[in-house]
Amino acid sequence: MKKKITAIVSILLASLLIGSSFVYAEEAEDAVYTVGICQLVQHNALDAATQGFKDALIEALGEEHVIFDEQNAAGDSATCATITAGFAASEVDLIMANATPALQAAASATSTIPILGTSVTDYGTALNLNDFSGTVGGNISGTSDLAPLDQQAQIIKELFPEAQTVGIMYCSGEANSVYQATTIRTYLEEEGYTVEEYTFADSNDVAFVTQSACDECDVLFLPTDNTAASCTSAIDAVARPTRTPIVTGEENMCVGCGVATLTISYYDLGKVTGQMAAKVLTGEEEISEMPIQWAAETVKKYNPEICADLGIEIPDSYEALEIAAE
């Protein structure tokens, strides 16, 4: 008799568990996730990362299962804080922070909602992490847009071996630009260059700082700096007449003012971030255990228009950028 009762109880428990599994599966299929997107500023690289993120998440979950609350901070870090605080208050399911100030704002806004960064150069620098090993932990992970800085320095050496002074120009308020400047400076000095740094506080200073840098340097390097990326026309208007070549940290900046770059695809980087988001939202992976992801490949590219204007010959190993007709 006891065996019969035990068997019946076991069957009932199994039925309950199976029933619960079906309910869970149905709930998962019907789930609709709200994703807050905070993008620091509008320019081609960040726009491409956001689009790649959205496309990947829709591809993974279906358009009917994702609601995007997409907001742009117009280059203002304080606005990033306002946007991400709003996401936290409305309890979105996940925050995508596009660029370092957006990530920093999101990290301050919530310690519980999952946060994925993209277009962030170095997470240890951005989040003030000691002994950063590649995994942030807690509620933060994401993707890095850093192309190897030693290889960036090699591009300058390859194209301008006779140059003596290299100027690094960036926004002093962008932590990851400071990181890039400090790191590449070492590589450039190892190659025998004299290195000077030129910083601007915001877009209002860009033209003036560019003029000073062009007057004093043989070649300039622009890291993946959001302020500079938003002001490439102003930079080019100063640099090209002085015949000062610029190597940039990514291709969209190179289109605007550079002669060459070692670049990644920001769209592909955004897609990787979106794929990570799908795994977090569906519970397939824990964000605290997700290491930072990197671009799959880098490519050497050059701007044929500016190179022709400056009389710069580019090796065959470089790929020509597509320059849209105005």
Are 31-145+265-294 and 149-263+299-320 the same fold in CATH?
Answer: yes
CA 11 to CA 7: how far, in whole Å? 6
Residue 318 has pLDDT above 60, yes or no: yes
Percent of the chain surpassing pLDDT 90? 82
End-to-end Cα distance, the chain = 88
Burial class (CB in 10 A: 0-12, 13-18, 19+), 123: buried
User: Does the domain at residues 31-145+265-294 carry the CATH identifier 3.40.50.2300?
Assistant: yes
* Mean pLDDT in residue range 1-21: 48
Q: Tell me the pLDDT band of 106, cut-offs 50, 70 and 90.
A: very high
- Residue 163, number of CB atoms within 10 A of its CB: 18
Higher per-residue confidence, 5 vs 311: 311
151, two tokens:
């290889």
CA distances from 142 to 95, 155, 277 (A): 11, 28, 9
CA 126 to CA 99: how far, in whole Å? 10
Beta bridge partners, 199, equal: 170
Contacts of 171 (CB under 8 A, 6+ apart): 177, 199, 200, 201, 202, 225, 226, 227, 228
Every domain of the chain and the residues it spans = 31-145+265-294, 149-263+299-320
Q: Tell me the pLDDT band of 134, cut-offs 50, 70 and 90.
A: very high
pLDDT score for 20:
43
CA 97 to CA 107: how far, in whole Å? 9
CA 253 to CA 263: how far, in whole Å? 10
DSSP, collapsed to helix, strand or coil, labels residue 147 as coil
Contact 213, 196 (CB under 8 A): yes
Residue 247 has pLDDT above 60, yes or no: yes
CA 4 to CA 210: how far, in whole Å? 86
CA 143 to CA 122: how far, in whole Å? 9
Give the CATH architecture of domain 149-263+299-320.
3-Layer(aba) Sandwich (3.40)
Tell me the per-residue pLDDT of 142-200, one tens digit each, with 9 for 90 and over: 999 988 999 999 999 999 999 999 999 999 999 899 999 999 999 999 999 999 999 99
DSSP state of 298: -
Q: Which of 132, 123, 122, 93 is nearest to 110 (CA)?
A: 93
* Mean pLDDT in residue range 297-326: 91
Q: Tell me the pLDDT band of 322, cut-offs 50, 70 and 90.
A: confident
* Mean pLDDT in residue range 41-62: 95
Chain mean pLDDT for the chain:
91
* Mean pLDDT in residue range 282-299: 93
pLDDT score for 27:
46
CA distances from 288 to 67, 112, 120, 279 (A): 24, 11, 18, 12
pLDDT score for 296:
79
- The sign of the dihedral angle between the CA atoms of 264, 239, 226, 222 is positive
